[in-house]
Amino acid sequence: MKLADAWLGKYRLINYCNLCVFLISFWVSEAFCETPQIIARPFASLTQRFSDNFNLSVDKLSVNSTIFSTGLSSDISTSQWQTGITGRYTGEQFYGHSELDRNEGLVNLNSKITDEYTEFSINGGISFEQPSSSELGSGGVQFNRIDQMVWDAGTTLRLLLSNQFVLDLNYNYSETTFDGLVDTSRSDFSNHAASATLGFSQSASLQWFNQLAFFHTDIPGNNFKSDQVSWTIGFSKAYSNTLNFTLSAGGVMLLSESGSSPCQVFFNGVCVLFGPLQTSKDEQFGFIYSAFIEKQFEHTEISANLSRNLSPTFNGGQTELNQFELNVTHNLTDTLQLSLSGRAINSKTLENTFSQAGRQRYGSSTSLRWKFSKNLSLSSSYGYTYEDRDSSAKPAERNQIFFALKYDFSPQLIYP
Mean pLDDT of the chain: 84
Q: What is the pLDDT of residue 142?
A: 56
Res 123 pLDDT > 80: yes
Query: Which of 359, 398, 362, 361 shows the shortest CA–CA distance to 59?
Result: 398
> For the chain, what are the domain ranges?
50-67+115-123+136-403
Name residue 372's amino acid: F
Q: What is the pLDDT of residue 11?
A: 44
Dist. CA 357–CA 84, nearest whole Å: 42
**89-93, 198-202, 388-392: which range is least confident on average?**
388-392
Mean pLDDT confidence for 298-326: 86
Q: What is the pLDDT of residue 173?
A: 97
Kind plus residue range of the DSSP H or E element containing 11 = helix 2-31
Res 361 pLDDT > 70: yes
* Neighbour-count burial for 259-296, b at 16+ CB within 10 Å, e otherwise: eeeeeeeeeeeeeeeeeeeeeeebebebebebbbbbee
Q: What is the pLDDT of residue 185?
A: 57
Q: Using one digit for the tens of pLDDT, what is the confidence trace for 247-291?
A: 999 999 988 887 776 776 777 767 767 767 677 787 888 899 999
The count of C-alpha atoms lying within 13 angstroms of the C-alpha of 249, restricted to the half-sphere facing its C-beta, is 4
Domain 50-67+115-123+136-403 has CATH 3.30.1180: no
Q: Using one digit for the tens of pLDDT, what is the confidence trace for 151-199?
A: 999 999 999 999 999 999 999 999 998 886 655 556 788 999 999 999 9
pTM of this structure: 0.81
